[in-house]
Amino acid sequence: MQTKIVKITDENKKEVLEKAANIIKSGGLVVFPTETVYGLGANVFDEKALAKIFSAKGRPSDNPIIVHISDEDQLKELVDTVSEQQKKLINAFWPGPLTIVFEKKKEISDIVSGGLPTIAVRMPSNPIAHELIYLAGVPIAAPSANISGRPSGTTGEHIYDELTGKVDMIIDAGFSDIGVESTVLRINNEQVLILRPGAITKEMLEKILFPLAVIFAKDRRELQFSPGTKYRHYAPKAKLEIISEKMEKRAEVLKEKKLRIGIITTKQNKDSFEKYKPNVFVLGDRNNLEEISQKLYDALRFFDTHPVDIILCESFPKEGLGVAIMDRLDRASM
C-alpha cells in the first residue's frame, strides 16, 4: 500500500483534512494527531476498515478500540444511555484526554468492542483530530498508532518507521502535547475504576465525582474490564530497569560487566552520566511532569537507534501525572 505522508501546516490544513476525511469515508486508514498520542483511525461503522486496523498493528482481536467523537451528538450513535455521573465527567473533561466506558448500542460491531458489551469513547481536544472527525462525519475508531507492544507514537517520525506501507495516510503535526494515552475509566456499582491512568488524574476525577470513590483497577477481576492491560506494552527493544535511587552506582556495576548502558535521566541529574554519552536521553525537568510525559516514548524509542544492552531510567513520584508516567515505565520494564 502506498502511504501518503504529510506535514500539516496552516496553509495546507484544509486540503489535507479533506483528503484524510475522504479516506476515512471510503474505508481507509489515517494516522492523525491527538493531544495524547497519535491515533490509527478508521470509520467505526465499517467492519472491513476496522479489520485493517488490527492487521496494520498486529493487534490481538480481543483488545477493544477507543472511539473518537467530535461532538456530543455522535455519542448518541454509539450508546443508548448516559448516566448522571457520566454526564458530569463529560461536562468537566470533554474535549480532553478522558475515555469513558459505556454500555454500547447493539448495532456497534464486536470488532470495536473486542466482544465486550461496552464501548470506550473519548472526544479529543486536539483541533486537527476534531476537524478530521467532523469532516469524516462518523466517529473514528482509533488505537494508538504503533505496532502492538511498542511505545505509542508521539511524533511523525515514530510512525513512519512502523506504519509506512500499512496505512493510507499519515498526518504529521510534530510532538503530541501530553505524550501518554488518555485516562480510561468505567463506573460500576457506585464505584469508579481507573482502568488506565492518564493526564486526567484520580484527584481531578474525585473533585467532580465526590462522594463517589475513585480507585485504580489493580486485580485481575477488575482488569478483565480492560483487556488491553494484559498485554506487554510500551516496550523498547532493550531491557529497561527503573531505578529509584543510586542510579550511578547501578550503572557502574553494569559497566564493569561490560554491558552497553543507556540512561534516561532529567536535567537535575544529567551531569552524573556524562561518561555514558551518547547513550543518554534527558527527559526534561524532574519537577515538571508534563515535560517528562511528553518525551517519555521518545526516550524509549531513542534506544532503537542507540543500541544498548540495558536502559536505566530514573523513577518519578506516583502522584498526579506521575501515576501515568510510572504505569507506562513499569509496563515497559516487564
Can you say which residues are annotated as belonging to the binding site for ATP? 59, 63, 118, 144, 152, 196, 234
Q: How far is the CB of 51 from ligand TXA (least distance, A)?
A: 15
- Binding annotation: 36, 59, 63, 68, 118, 122, 142, 144, 152, 182, 196, 234
Per CB under 6 A, residues contacting ligand TXA are 34, 36-37, 39, 63-66, 99, 101, 113, 116, 118-120, 142-144, 181-182, 184, 195-196, 225-229
Per CB under 5 A, residues contacting Mg ion are 144
Pairing relation of β-strands 183-188 and 30-32? unpaired
CA of 148: how far to CAs of 57, 59, 277, 287, in Å? 5, 5, 30, 31
CA of 306: how far to CAs of 205, 269, 310, in Å? 39, 20, 11
Question: Virtual CA dihedral for 152, 156, 157, 162, nearest 10 degrees?
Answer: 50
Nearest in space to 54 (alpha carbons), one of 65, 44, 38: 65
The closest residue (CB) to ligand TXA is: 228
With respect to ligand TXA, which residue has the nearer C-beta, 248 or 330? 330
Q: How far is the CB of 280 from ligand TXA (least distance, A)?
A: 28
Residue 37 binds: one of Mg ion, ligand TXA, none (C-beta under 5 to 8 A by kind)? ligand TXA
Cβ(320)–Cβ(218) below 8 Å: no
Q: State the CB neighbour count (10 A cutoff) for residue 60.
A: 14
Residue 34 binds: one of Mg ion, ligand TXA, none (C-beta under 5 to 8 A by kind)? ligand TXA
How far is residue 106's CA from residue 115's CA, in Å, rounded to a whole number?
A: 11
Q: How far is the CB of 65 from ligand TXA (least distance, A)?
A: 5
How far is residue 50's CA from residue 140's CA, in Å, rounded to a whole number?
A: 10
- Binding annotation for L-threonine: 36, 68, 122, 142, 182
Residue 119 binds: one of ligand TXA, Mg ion, none (C-beta under 5 to 8 A by kind)? ligand TXA
